[in-house]
Amino acid sequence: MKYRRLGSSGLKVSALSFGSWVTFVNQLDESTATNCMDYAYNEGVNFFDNAEAYANGKSEKLMGNIIKKLKWTRDTYIVSSKVFWGGEKPTQIGLCKKHIHDACNAALRRMKVNYLDLFFCHRPDPETPILETIYAMNDLITQGKIIYWGTSEWSAKEIEEAFKLCKDYNLRCPTMEQPQYNILHRDRMENEYQSLFQKYSLGTTIWSPLASGLLTGKYNDGIPSKSRLNVKGYEWLREGMENTNFKTIKKVGEIARLLNITQSQLAIIWCLNNINVSSVILGASNIKQLKENLESINIIENIDSKIIEKI
């Protein structure tokens, strides 16, 4: 495994990490999820991503049970949670100070840990002043409940405002952002965030490197019955296929075949090629997929700049 600094911090995160979005509970039972986490950890993965919204908190419970069962020592792994969608009541949604504190404490209980390494604001909250959100995150750092805080899918303008307020009020600045990034979804990482990378060395833990499986090529001829696109509550993923450029996906597949690697591996290596990517979060519905995707780190040298440019 290769490791990269998380932005301007000194924390070294594995270049490939493992996340639980969609798969945990919905597609993976405890036995399979345990095997996946154990394999990833033994291959050098040290960052495991989660959120209060994933399977309505059940994903965090499952991950916490697995970590306890595998008896990992707390200084060998990194776990995250995200706050925004905690329930249906007004006090369970958004980034007000109360919900941030409640969500953090709930994540600690579910994951059976004393602190979270990374805590993300899962989306921007237009109804809560950014300064209130920053103070809440700063409090959690001071209390030792989180180590680093960051954002997910915030605009560059919103992140810039957060940095300015942190400096004005002498509060902890965000360390990382978690945006979607893949061959089909590029603008935010490659254009909008460029000033943030240059000014603040913002770290990124990118999600959906395979565009929810589209870049594997398995949807070129339709949707398999056990696909995440058929998981209840994720219909919006299926709807997103309507505007997909399958010609591009098939061309990526052709390049992968010429290189004698899988299309998934090529898509992951393409993400890793971006120096502003701290970690690529992998998702897998079985151990075979995970092994294939983790192998990407060992063949990254096979892909030169000409191939990246061609893609």
Over residues 196-209, the mean pLDDT reads: 98
Q: For residue 254, what pLDDT is reported?
A: 96
* pTM listed for this prediction: 0.93
User: Which residues fall within 8 angstroms of residue 170, CB to CB, at 6 or more apart?
Assistant: none
SS3 category, 157: helix
The full set of domains in the chain, from first to last, is 3-310 (3.20.20.100)
Q: What is the mean pLDDT of the chain?
A: 94
Closest to 211 (Cα-Cα) out of 280, 156, 310: 280
**pLDDT tens by residue, 141-196:** 999 999 999 999 999 999 999 999 999 999 999 999 999 999 999 999 999 999 99
Looking up tokens 């990034």 gives: 181
Closest to 19 (Cα-Cα) out of 74, 93, 78: 78
Q: For residue 178, what pLDDT is reported?
A: 98
**pLDDT tens by residue, 253-285:** 999 999 999 999 999 999 999 999 999 999 998
Looking up tokens 């929810």 gives: 212
Q: For residue 225, what pLDDT is reported?
A: 58
54 is catalytic: yes
Share of the chain above pLDDT 70, in %: 93
Selected catalytic residue, list 54, 77, 181, 219: 54
Q: Is the pLDDT of residue 218 over 60?
A: yes
